[in-house]
Amino acid sequence: MALATRTRTSAPSLWGSTIGKKTVMAVTGLIMLGYLVVHMLGNLKIFFGADEFNGYAHWLRTLGSPFLHHEWALWIVRVVLLAAVVAHAVSAYQLSRRDIKARPVTYVHKRRRASYATRTMRWGGIILGLFIVWHLLDLTTLTVNERAWAGHPYENVLATFSTWYGNTLYIVAMAALGLHVRHGFWSAAQTLGAGRARRERTLKTLANGLAVVLFTGFVSVPVAVMTGMVN
């Protein structure tokens, strides 16, 4: 009976603790990071032409066929990502509120040891959250893409990055993403116990490298459209 009681209360207790929320943030962050790497590699197919890019987009919708129905695999990925984003955001908000309550009086002298990425993690998260909504309305539902052409993802990407606001929103969001990944990867490693002293330099190098690769990979698409490399 006591074992059953501990089992029923362990999950709520873990979620209610600071380390539990940090663990949720770390795990969901790594899930989203894995998706971002795959998504970036898929985006780079645009450099191989319309047929290659549109074929890749079609393959995503038929992934798992014939075992899975049309777009089932894609929807499974979407549901997992949505759950990860919500859990990540809720944990971040609750940790932020907990931190504010623990220190209700602001510091007289601001600490300058924290990196720029650390100081902007919260704003970066908000920027990325708003961008995700825009990105879905732009290239998934095609709601805000004025020249969208259903079933033609290559042409829709070109339509988005042929506008100044599409490029501006995307590049600003990718800069926020780079900073978020740089600090978030390091924090996740610390939370999950991988941040040993002898690994510190390696983990920091890996975090910086991931941030640079993701920013460069994602931003290369709008830059290529703007310069006429992709048309």
- Per residue in 4-18, pLDDT (tens digit) is 545 454 667 777 788
Q: Which residue has the higher pLDDT, 24 or 192?
A: 24
Mean pLDDT of the chain: 86
Mean pLDDT, residues 43-64 taken together = 94
pTM of the entire structure? 0.85
Residue 3 has pLDDT above 50, yes or no: no
pLDDT at 203: 85
- Tokens of residue 87, six digits: 């859990």
pLDDT at 123: 85
pLDDT at 104: 57
Calculate what percentage of the chain has a pLDDT beyond 90. Answer: 58
